[in-house]
Structure formats: structure tokens, C-alpha cells
Structure 1
């Protein structure tokens, strides 16, 4: 069974402790780091520590969550980020996506729903609720900056199919089996797509696919 390394950063120590205890009951999750201080997280990442999914609050000690996001984006640390905030607003979803966030959820979410979000992000790279996609529709309008490509022809038919598969929340292994190629080949296509389109994660690919009408909103598998 694949295990996912989780880090928790929240300014409330009680929330950190309770969340750690709850998550570690699941055999797939291993909480490898927890802190109430955003600066300590950055130091941990700078040391070379490996994290699969980061649960990040926006309000923290020393530096806030937005500053943490900026540092992670600049340093290009390889991890997926779920922002859990009492300051949740639908109109901030687009901003969070641009900052490289894989999911943006309110603190009022139940622990069991959070567990589902964590696993979905760990495996597929993104999580959207239906109302978030509706909000995102306005936030990725023609007024919003779009990824710059030399030409749309630089995206091959095979890459378009892989984008569509990723938008369906399929793993590299599942995509490989569907397209009769290896998982390693799928991962290679995905990395090249990130570079071509100028995005950091699968969430960025989903936004690009919506912008370019590669997929429609109603085709996304939403919770």
C-alpha cells in the first residue's frame, strides 16, 4: 500500500495535535512534520525533507500562509498543497490556483471529508468542489492572463489526451493502461506539459484545459 507523507502547519497547536492523531489512524497517511510556525516549515523544506501533501493554514506565526506559498513557488519544492482556512472565500480560488495550490477548503470541513480530499490530491493532484468550479469559470475569463505558447500545435494529440485523462483524476498508472504506454512515459509527458504550458501542477493543467476548451466544466469529476 502506497503511503503519503503529510505535513501540517496551523497556528493553533490543538488543531495540529488533533488533526495529526486523526490522520495517523489511516494506514495510508504518515504525518512526518507538524508546526505552528510557517518559518519552521520553510526551514524543514530547505533541509531537503520530502513531503507529499502539505496542509497549510493562512494565519500563522512568524510568516503567514501566503508568504509560505510564495516561498514554495519560488523554490519550486515538489509537494502538493491543501490550504485549509477560516478565511475561505470562493472568489479566492483562482488566486490559490495561480499560487500552485491543489485544493482550497474551509476549516469547517469534516475530518472524514478532509481525509478524502488529502487522498484525492495525493493521487490525482487536485480537488475542486462544484461551487469552486463555477467560481473559477469567472476567474479564468478572457480578462485573466493565460499561459503563453508558441502555438497550440506544440501540444500533440497524445498530450491532449493525457491532459483529458488527468482532468478525469486518473493516475499515471491508469492512464498508461488506457493508452497502452508505460507509467514512466505518462510521467514524462506530464513533466513536458508542465514546462510547455508554464504550470506547476495538475491543477494548472486543469485550468489550462478549461481555458482551451480541451475539457468542459461539466466533464470534471466533482465531489
Structure 2
């Protein structure tokens, strides 16, 4: 099956580069290009691409607002944010707006193609440099069930009862930002089995993708917040 991609970036040369990379693949085709977020929203509604490869900083309307409008309009397209800037506020805003992924423009072509394929199949992908910071910062805003002196209890969600013990284990690994391959190795499963479990987890919990699943795991207390202060790992990059 061919993945149909809409390219959104205000720099024509970058769009040309992305087009060349994508159309070198037998399973991808570029259905359109937009130079700003407003055009992207209109073209997404008309072309209904599988994936919208979206820049952040653009004239007329930025990529975050364009993503929000595409998602709110119920357009059956998934948005993969691609930006030059490794800034947490962009990543958080993009994911809150409904993006299914966040990658940097200096990502290797193979990783970009893998990310597009993952998003097209309903998965989510976030740049490794952002993933741990995202979870750690979010986790520090949530109650920790391991500390009863906290005034706000963990969220009680009846959807957790729908999961089997194995699915809970897989969800725990997803919340730790591990890939299917890593989860398979840790739990001694095949990647295909892990993918099946992840799909069932998302269905049972009524979630869109792995990012939402990770946030859910923190909310219900399945994963405890890291004790490392937010932003500490920036010195290590």
C-alpha cells in the first residue's frame, strides 16, 4: 500500500529535498506541497493524505495551529512534525495539538522514512532527544502513588481493568519510551507479538497512539515519575 504524503514547509528547497527522498521509495508518494499552515489545512482536507509532514515556523499560520485545525476538523490524516529546533515547548505543543510524531530535520533519511511509515500505520514517533524529557517533565506534574503524603491521588481509570497482565507489562514498557524491538527483547517476545499487544492496548484504552498511552500510564500510576529534576539531562546532550 502506498503512503500518501503532504509536504508542508515554507522553504521550497527543503520541500524538494524531502520529495526526492520520499519518492525514491516504492511505497510513498507526495500528493502535494504547501508553504504555510493555512494552505496545509485546506490541502489536507482536499487531498486527505495519510501523513502530513509539517514544519513549525511558517508565515500566515504556524505548524502547531495547522495541526490543531487538521485534527479538530476530523481530517483522516496523521501529522508528523519536522523542525530544526529541538525545543521542548514545540514538542509539547505539537503533541497536545494532536500530532502523531515529532522529529528533527537533521534526522537521517532512513529514520525519517521509518517515522513516516510508523505514523501512517497508527503508531507514534518522537525524537529520542525529546522523548525522555517529555515524559519526565509531564511526570513531575502528576501525583506519585508511592508517596501517600501527596494531596492528590493517582487517577482511577476503569479502563485499566480491560488489560491483561501481559498488556499491562507492555504498556509499562511503552511508557518508558521503548521501541517494539526493545520491548520484545526485554519481555522475550517477538516484535510481531509486541505490535499486536500495543494495538490491543490502544483499542481497549480508547487511545490514539503510543504517546497517549505513555501519558495514560503516568496518569493512572502504572509508572512512577522520575525523581530527576526536569531539564537536568540537557547538560548531557
Unaligned runs of 5+ in 1: 180-185, 218-223
Taking structure 1 as the reference length, what is the TM-score of the superposition? 0.72
Deviation at 1:123, TM superposition (A): 2.9
Q: CA deviation at 1:120?
A: 2.5
Matched, 1:209 2:217: yes
Mapping 1:84-99, distance limit 5 Å? 84-99=82-97
Question: 1:162 and 1:33 mapped to 2: Cα distance?
Answer: 39
Secondary structure of 1:156's aligned partner: helix
RMSD: 3.5
Structure 2: which 5+ residue stretches go unaligned?
Answer: 144-153, 181-191, 226-237
Displacement after TM superposition at 1:52 (Å): 1.4
Q: Which residue of 1 aligns with 2:205?
A: 193
**Alpha-carbon distance in structure 2 between the residues aligned to 1:169 and 1:88:** 21
Instruction: Within 5 Å, give how 1:159-198 maps onto structure 2.
Output: 164=170, 167=174, 174=192, 190-191=202-203, 193-194=205-206
Q: Is the 8 A contact 1:124 1:169 kept in 2?
A: no
Residue 144 of structure 1: how far off its partner (Å): 5.5
Residue aligned with 2:18, SS:
helix
How many equivalent residue pairs?
Answer: 201
- 1:52 corresponds to 2:74: no
8 A contact 1:10–1:35 mirrored in 2: yes
Change (3 A) 1:120 1:36: same
CA contact (8 A) 2:37 2:61 kept: yes
Taking structure 1 as reference, are residues 129 and 161 closer, same or farther at Cα in structure 2, changes over 3 Å only?
A: farther
Change (3 A) 1:154 1:22: closer
Matched, 1:15 2:20: no
